[in-house]
Amino acid sequence: MSSRANYSTNPLKFLVIEDDYLTRQGVCALLQEYGSVSEASKVEQAATLIKRERFDIILIDLGLNSELEGLQLIEPALQAGSYPVVVTGQESEQVIKQSYHLGCSDYLVKPFKRATLNRVITSYRQSKHHHSFFQQLKDHFVTKDQQLITQLEELASASSNSDPIFLGGESGTGKSMVAKLIHQIGHDSMDTFVHLNCAEIPTELLESELFGHKKGAFSGATANKPGKVELAHNGTLFLDEIATLSLAMQAKLLVVLEEKRFTPVGSITPQYSNFRLISATCQNLNQLVAAGEFREDLFYRLDGLSVTIPPLRERPDDIPLLIKHLLRQGDRRVVITQPAMCALTTYHWPGNVRELARVIELLRRIPSGIITPNHLPAKVLNTPPLTSEIDLELTGPQKSIIKEHGLKALMTKIEHDVTKQYYQNNMERVRQTLKDLQISNSTFYRILGQHHG
């Protein structure tokens, strides 16, 4: 996990904008150990430098030729891709608010210490790391769902620390891929990624699989074997389907997370392992906790940053994007007709992205190179309609909505009204509402955000 605290130490390029000569020289002297430093004493001179050169960090004094004149340099610095930091004697809340509103990344009051500059530089490098992480995450995880994008941004912000991450969502939504991306993008290439699907290991073997065992610990233990916890030292341990752990195993895992120590089966000597835990499940942990099937203390330990990946049927706009992305894999190129794309988009994809990827992989191999509905699996073309008979008497207002705006508008309003009622009944507790309605976080915000009537 060495890379979590270590960002790039490449030399940086600074621009110091300060009209007082002695102050400017003092700041420049402090910065020289981190890279090259340019300086300017006037707005015009600074503006020219910002247009002509690329700076990593720009320190801007607000009081140049006149009061607060430096404010006009914040936006150009930001647009140039720099990290603008205000350095001033102004302590007015209004000025501070205005500076941040214009886009400054930090606001320092003179005089300041070397440690303050160190903090600014660390913050800059951290922000670059987070931005790079997020861009790579978006490149691999294709989505236009705004709530999911927001959650991915939160993941990027958490990529530099060791806090646990919990990934929720149905089977096939991409939890394993996200876990691997978090590790690959946020760590050194030498750090270990250890994956264990808890549902695939028999209960009687799970303790040995997690913590390892000593030779002779049980019948068949002919040699010492390291467990997943030991192998994940200084790396990432990804426990998939963690909800399938027995209560006894949950208790042992909780101790490991709290103390960073574990004891192999057949040993009396605890061993140390420092790892970042990413856990995932397709089950609702809130419901399992309420039913006494999952430890509440472990639940809160896992829930450092929680991301729920909504099923594909709840983000239909992502389906065409994913299809095009998957069709671009490999060297061969094929095209898809609009009727085929329409059929794939309207299918409900119970297996989510995993199922879609398998179908597209088969379609990429068709000899003709042009995908038509004739090439699609029967399950996609023959999705059975809903046949349940529902005894429903529409109200007058509901009939009016259908007459004026159509059925979709009525369904949207019903969805909104039900969600809002549950939300209010739950004292505006989002998590409880998600649990009651069995919907994802992104679906909740989509429902409440799309209807304003």
Looking at the structure, tell me whether residues 146 and 18 fall in a common domain. Answer: no
- What's the confidence (pLDDT) of residue 75? 92
Residue 441 within any structural domain of the chain: yes
Give 147-205 pLDDT, tens digit per residue. Answer: 888 887 777 776 666 789 999 999 999 999 889 888 877 665 557 999 999 999 998 89
Looking at the structure, tell me whether residues 355 and 411 fall in a common domain. Answer: no
Residue 299 within any structural domain of the chain: yes
Is a pLDDT exceeding 60 seen at residue 453? Answer: no
High-pLDDT (> 70) share of the chain, %: 92
Is a pLDDT exceeding 80 seen at residue 28? Answer: yes
- What's the confidence (pLDDT) of residue 4? 44
Q: Which of 101-105, 241-245, 404-408 has the lowest mean pLDDT?
A: 404-408
**Which of 274, 308, 342 corresponds to the end of one domain?**
308
- What's the confidence (pLDDT) of residue 387? 40
Domain hosting 284: range is 141-308
- Residue that wins the pLDDT comparison between 303 and 451: 303
- What's the confidence (pLDDT) of residue 425? 75
Give 240-284 pLDDT, tens digit per residue. Answer: 999 999 999 999 999 999 999 999 999 999 999 999 999 999 999
Residue 401 within any structural domain of the chain: yes
- What's the confidence (pLDDT) of residue 384? 54
Is a pLDDT exceeding 90 seen at residue 145? Answer: no
- What's the confidence (pLDDT) of residue 388? 40
**Which of 261, 281, 308 corresponds to the end of one domain?**
308
- Residue that wins the pLDDT comparison between 281 and 399: 281
Looking at the structure, tell me whether residues 146 and 123 fall in a common domain. Answer: no
- What's the confidence (pLDDT) of residue 134? 74
Looking at the structure, tell me whether residues 107 and 247 fall in a common domain. Answer: no
Confidence category of residue 385, pLDDT binned at 50, 70, 90: very low
Looking at the structure, tell me whether residues 71 and 160 fall in a common domain. Answer: no
Residue 390 within any structural domain of the chain: no
Looking at the structure, tell me whether residues 178 and 291 fall in a common domain. Answer: yes
Residue 41 within any structural domain of the chain: yes
Residue 294 within any structural domain of the chain: yes
Looking at the structure, tell me whether residues 408 and 360 fall in a common domain. Answer: no
Looking at the structure, tell me whether residues 347 and 405 fall in a common domain. Answer: no
- What's the confidence (pLDDT) of residue 6? 44
Domain total of the chain: 4
* Domain CATH number, residue 367: 1.10.8.60
* Domain CATH number, residue 152: 3.40.50.300
**Which of 276, 308, 340 corresponds to the end of one domain?**
308
Looking at the structure, tell me whether residues 120 and 180 fall in a common domain. Answer: no
Looking at the structure, tell me whether residues 9 and 33 fall in a common domain. Answer: yes
- Residue that wins the pLDDT comparison between 9 and 173: 173
- Three-state SS across the chain? CHHHCCCCCCCEEEEEECCCHHHHHHHHHHHHHHEEEEEECCHHHHHHHHHHCCCCEEEECCCCCCCCHHHHHHHHHHHCCCEEEEEECCCCHHHHHHHHHHCCCEEEECCCCHHHHHHHHHHHHHHHHHHHHHHHHHHHCCCCCHHHHHHHHHHHHHCCCCCCEEEECCCCCCHHHHHHHHHHHHCCCCCCEEEEEHHHCCHHHHHHHHHCECCCCCCCCCCCECCHHHHCCCCEEEEECHHHCCHHHHHHHHHHHHHCEECCECCCCCEECCCEEEEEECCCHHHHHHCCCCCHHHHHHHCCEEEECCCHHHCCCHHHHHHHHHHCCCCCCCEECHHHHHHHHHCCCCCHHHHHHHHHHHHCCCCCCEECHHHCCHHHHCCCCCCCCCCCCCCHHHHHHHHHHCHHHHHHHHHHHHHHHHHHHCCCCHHHHHHHHCCCHHHHHHHHHHCCC
Residue 388 within any structural domain of the chain: no
Mean pLDDT score, 84-98: 89
Is a pLDDT exceeding 70 seen at residue 33? Answer: yes
